[in-house]
């Protein structure tokens, strides 16, 4: 049997964590409770963060948006600032789990689980999100890519919790999208995922681009040399084929129950061709709605 504490304030949480340093925190519990089922007769002391007001909600602070680590996905999806400024994040959340999982699960849980398949991670990498980490005596900030060390490993000290995610507004990339290839349409864990933000010229060439891949290495991969290579290139089949070949040097996929490393490599190169479709669709939209 697990003992569960339900503090209503951060002060209450610190009091328990000081008294029981081995206690495990959770928010929605959609990852932790699956894990605990695998630990026979777990007697872990649990601290539920879900009711702590300081860890929930979304604030538009002018230059950036702050998202409480324990805000359920459904709330993030319905937030107008997130919809307007970070469509790539909304797109990824819509493809994460099921309505039930999105009602309970949180971005804080997805980040701290540090799975290479976590759907919010590629968008957070290209949005260059900063994480706010709090302990009883300190608050620190760290870029998301420095926080995640490997599968299930994050730079979180005992007694620390992830309190919020800060994302700068005003990224000059009008086209945002998230692609996820899984074994089925619904409730699929990503075999390969790709988050993209890009800007095209009037002629349809790539002016600037950011991209990050999930599930192809121990942590999310942001292939900066390919972003540089693509800037200024025509958005055509040949450019993307060459980028797909170059990309292979940045990938370190594994064979697992969902897919082989070879398959992940091939899909990663092929999925780049989606840029053409998304680019064309955005050009059509801008002609339809433009001046």
Ligand X SMILES: Cc1cc2nc3c(=O)[nH]c(=O)nc-3n(C[C@H](O)[C@H](O)[C@H](O)COP(=O)(O)OP(=O)(O)OC[C@H]3O[C@@H](n4cnc5c(N)ncnc54)[C@H](O)[C@@H]3O)c2cc1C
- Is the four-CA dihedral 15, 17, 23, 27 of positive or negative sign? positive
Q: Pick from 42, 56, 195: which is nearest to 120 by CA? A: 195
Which span sits near ligand X by CB under 6 A: 81-89, 103-111, 194-202, 240-248? Answer: 103-111
The only residue of 28, 116, 223, 279 in contact with ligand X, by rule CB under 6 A: 28
Using CB under 6 A as the binding rule, whether residue 165 contacts ligand X is answered as no
Q: How far is the CB of 197 from ligand X (least distance, A)?
A: 19
The only residue of 13, 17, 49, 240 in contact with ligand X, by rule CB under 6 A: 49
Residue with nearest beta carbon to ligand X = 109
Q: Using DSSP, state whether 247 is helix, strand or coil.
A: helix
Which span sits near ligand X by CB under 6 A: 27-35, 56-64, 123-131, 230-238? Answer: 27-35
The only residue of 23, 89, 112, 194 in contact with ligand X, by rule CB under 6 A: 112
Using CB under 6 A as the binding rule, whether residue 79 contacts ligand X is answered as no
Burial 131-140 (b: 16+ CB within 10 A, else e): bbbbbeeeee
Which span sits near ligand X by CB under 6 A: 13-21, 122-130, 156-164, 281-289? Answer: 156-164
d(CA 257, CA 18): 40
The only residue of 27, 93, 235, 243 in contact with ligand X, by rule CB under 6 A: 27
CB distance 158 to 21 below 8 Å: yes
The smaller minimum CB distance to ligand X, of residues 97 and 253, is found at 97
**260 CB contacts (<8 Å, ≥6 apart)?**
none
Q: How far is the CB of 112 from ligand X (least distance, A)?
A: 3
d(CA 91, CA 111): 17
Other CB atoms within 10 A of residue 36 CB: 16
**Would strands 206-214 and 175-181 be described as parallel, antiparallel, or unpaired?**
unpaired
CB distance 268 to 195 below 8 Å: no
CB distance 144 to 162 below 8 Å: no
The only residue of 13, 31, 171, 194 in contact with ligand X, by rule CB under 6 A: 31
Site for ligand X in 173-212 (CB under 6 A): 187, 189
Positions that interact with ligand X (CB under 6 A): 24-32, 34, 49, 69-70, 96-97, 101, 104-106, 108-110, 112-113, 118-119, 156, 161-162, 187, 189
């Amino acid at each position: 049997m697990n003992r569960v504490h339900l503090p209503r304030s951060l002060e209450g949480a610190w009091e328990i964590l000081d008294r029981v340093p081995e206690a495990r925190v959770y928010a929605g519990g959609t990852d932790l409770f699956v894990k605990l089922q695998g630990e026979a007769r777990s007697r872990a002391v649990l601290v539920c963060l879900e009711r702590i007001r300081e860890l929930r909600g979304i604030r538009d602070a002018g230059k950036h948006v702050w998202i409480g680590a324990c805000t359920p996905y459904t709330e993030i999806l319905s937030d107008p600032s997130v919809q307007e400024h970070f469509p790539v994040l909304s797109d990824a959340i819509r493809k994460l789990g099921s309505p039930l999982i999105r009602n309970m699960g949180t971005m804080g849980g997805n980040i701290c689980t540090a799975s290479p398949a976590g759907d919010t991670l590629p968008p957070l990498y290209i949005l260059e999100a900063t994480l706010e980490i709090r302990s009883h005596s300190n608050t620190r900030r760290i870029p998301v890519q420095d926080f995640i060390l490997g599968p299930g490993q994050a730079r979180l000290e005992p007694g620390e919790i992830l309190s919020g995610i800060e994302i700068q507004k005003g990224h000059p990339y009008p086209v945002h999208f998230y692609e996820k290839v899984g074994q089925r349409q619904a409730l699929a864990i990503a075999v390969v995922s790709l988050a993209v933000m890009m800007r095209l010229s009037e002629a349809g060439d790539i002016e600037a681009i950011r991209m990050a891949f999930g599930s192809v290495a121990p942590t999310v991969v942001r292939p900066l040399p390919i972003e540089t290579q693509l800037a200024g290139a025509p958005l055509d089949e040949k450019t993307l084929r060459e980028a797909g070949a170059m990309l292979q040097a940045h990938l370190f996929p594994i064979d697992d129950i969902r897919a082989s490393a070879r398959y992940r490599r091939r899909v990663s190169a092929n999925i780049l061709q989606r840029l053409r479709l998304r680019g064309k669709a955005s050009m059509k939209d801008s002609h339809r709605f433009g001046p």
